[in-house]
């Protein structure tokens, strides 16, 4: 396994607010390859190198959770050879990166409909999840065969079953209840969602969880996304004022109250 190097000089220049949970819609692999006269699968292989850089960079900067949108439930409709190539690439990634992930204390979790994956790939995923379960470093969530609507639909079915079985009080069902039935139960919602390739849509990704997330869209195609682009996204995030439905004045007042009572406010705010 080749040694992974990241541009630490670029990463060290960042002194803003690091999002606790970063979610990434990795888009543009196919276009990157087509622009260069290559087969689309070549773009996915180059995209895997960007995954390695971003995982290591986020770990270096202190991100707590990194969620990567690798393969959507709609992607099963792509040409068979491309789907097969993507599944092979994911299996290869697990094998090649296993040692590095474990060494760096990263906890791996795959979210999505695993039943559609091959038994071999399911086993590889389960083994890596089990071996990394006690790790206390960054959590790496990879969304494979994942769809936000499907996730919410499945959660609704399970809630209904438990309500009928008397395990849930219907009148007590609230947002927290629904969150507990999602793939991401027990995890922080994303603070920042990054989308590459310039497309202005969320593509059925974490629809429940990103209700209040900040969005950063870059024209950069995923294989070209590097440390500098990640820092650009984080710097943009640092300038945001997260309101969660409140007014800017309310947020500023709350910040002043917090500073007076407990010290300086470290939440994301406008400079």
Whether residue 10 is contained in a domain is answered as: no
Boundaries of domain holding 52: 17-240
Supply the DSSP symbol for 97: H
The whole-angstrom separation of Cα 81 and Cα 102 is: 31
Whether residue 3 is contained in a domain is answered as: no
Whether residue 252 is contained in a domain is answered as: no
Whether residue 266 is contained in a domain is answered as: no
User: How many structural domains comprise the chain?
Assistant: 1
Whether residue 132 is contained in a domain is answered as: yes
Q: Which strand ranges, in their side-by-side order, compose the sheet holding 139-146?
A: 107-111, 139-146, 65-72, 21-25, 192-195, 214-217
The whole-angstrom separation of Cα 189 and Cα 122 is: 26
CATH number at residue 212: 3.40.1180.10
The whole-angstrom separation of Cα 18 and Cα 206 is: 20
Tell me what pLDDT residue 2 has. Answer: 46
Q: In Å, what is the CA distance from 131 to each residue of 42, 99, 141, 159, 259? A: 30, 10, 15, 30, 42
Tell me what pLDDT residue 3 has. Answer: 53
Tell me what pLDDT residue 262 has. Answer: 47
Catalytic (active-site) positions:
27, 75
The whole-angstrom separation of Cα 248 and Cα 217 is: 23
**Block mean pLDDT (10 aa), the chain, length 271:** 70 94 98 97 97 97 98 96 96 95 97 97 98 98 98 98 98 98 98 98 98 98 98 96 62 59 41 31
Tell me what pLDDT residue 6 has. Answer: 80
Whether residue 134 is contained in a domain is answered as: yes
Whether residue 157 is contained in a domain is answered as: yes
Tell me what pLDDT residue 7 has. Answer: 85
Whether residue 1 is contained in a domain is answered as: no
Q: Rounded to two decimals, what is the model's pTM? A: 0.88
């Amino acid at each position: 396994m080749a040694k992974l190097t990241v541009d630490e000089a670029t990463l060290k220049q960042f002194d803003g607010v690091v999002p606790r949970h970063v979610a990434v819609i990795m888009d543009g692999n196919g276009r990157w390859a087509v622009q260069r006269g290559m087969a689309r699968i070549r773009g996915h292989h180059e995209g895997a190198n960007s995954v390695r850089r971003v995982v290591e960079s986020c770990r270096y900067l202190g991100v707590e959770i990194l969620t990567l949108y690798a393969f959507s439930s709609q992607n099963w409709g792509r040409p068979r050879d491309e789907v097969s190539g993507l599944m092979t690439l994911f299996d290869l990634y697990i094998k090649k990166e296993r040692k590095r992930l474990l060494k760096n204390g990263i906890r791996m979790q795959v979210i999505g409909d695993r039943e559609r994956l091959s038994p071999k790939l399911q086993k590889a995923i389960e083994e890596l999840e089990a071996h990394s379960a006690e790790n206390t470093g960054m959590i790496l969530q990879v969304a494979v065969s994942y769809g936000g609507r499907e996730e919410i639909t499945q959660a609704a079915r399970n809630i209904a079953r438990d309500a009928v079985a008397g395990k849930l009080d219907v009148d007590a069902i609230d947002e927290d209840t629904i969150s507990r039935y999602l793939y991401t139960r027990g995890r922080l919602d994303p603070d920042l969602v990054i989308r590459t390739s310039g497309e202005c849509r969320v593509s059925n990704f974490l629809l429940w969880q990103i209700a209040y997330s900040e969005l950063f869209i870059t024209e950069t195609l995923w294989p070209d996304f590097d440390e500098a682009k990640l820092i650009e996204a984080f710097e943009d995030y640092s300038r945001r004022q997260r309101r969660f439905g409140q007014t800017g004045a309310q947020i500023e007042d709350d910040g002043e109250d917090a500073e007076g009572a407990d010290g300086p406010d470290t939440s994301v705010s406008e400079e």
